[in-house]
Amino acid sequence: MIVVDLRSAVPPFEQIRVQILDLVRSGDLPPQTRLPTVRKLASDLGLAPNTVARAFRELERQGVVETRGRHGTFVSTHGDAVQRRAQLAAAIFAEQMRTLRLSNEEAIVLALAALGADRAPENPLNSTDE
C-alpha cells in the first residue's frame, strides 16, 4: 500500500506519514486497524527502522494512530485529529451563521471569501435582479 520514492525531495518518513494519513482519511485504514510493525514496514520498504518509527511518532502526535505497547500500533478510534478540529470549527461556524439568521448560501459565500477561494458563487446579498 505504501510506496516511498527515494529520489523525491520529500523525506521518506514524511512520505510514509502522508500516505498513512491519506489512507486513514479515505477510510481504507479504518479505526482499530493494526499497522505493520516498524521493523516489518521498514524491511518491506527497504528503509531504516528509525525512518518508519519517526513517521509513526508523528502520526501518534497528531492523534491518527495509537501505540499499545507490545500489542502494536493501531489507527486511533478517535480518527484524524486534524479532521476532528476542522469539523468542530465548521460546526461552530454553522451555529454562528444560524444565530445571525444567515441563509446557507450567505454562509457559504462568507466561508469561501474567508478561505480566499478564487471563485465564490454569486453572492445573493448583491443580487442586481429587479
- The full set of domain ranges for the chain reads 12-75, 81-125
pLDDT for res 65: 92
As a CATH number, domain 12-75 is: 1.10.10.10
Show pLDDT as tens, one digit a residue, over the chain (130 residues): 899 999 999 999 999 999 999 998 888 998 899 999 999 999 999 999 999 999 999 999 988 899 998 899 999 887 566 666 777 788 889 889 999 999 999 999 999 998 887 555 555 555 454 4
pLDDT at site 130: 46
Which residue has 486534524 as its cell numbers? Answer: 82
List, as own/partner pairs, every contact residues 55-62 make where C-beta atoms lie below 8 angstroms and the sequence separation is at least 24, other chains included.
55/13, 55/14, 55/16, 55/17, 55/20, 58/13, 58/17, 59/17, 59/20, 59/21, 62/21
Q: What is the pTM (predicted TM-score) of this model?
A: 0.62
Q: Which three cell numbers stand for residue 76?
A: 486511533
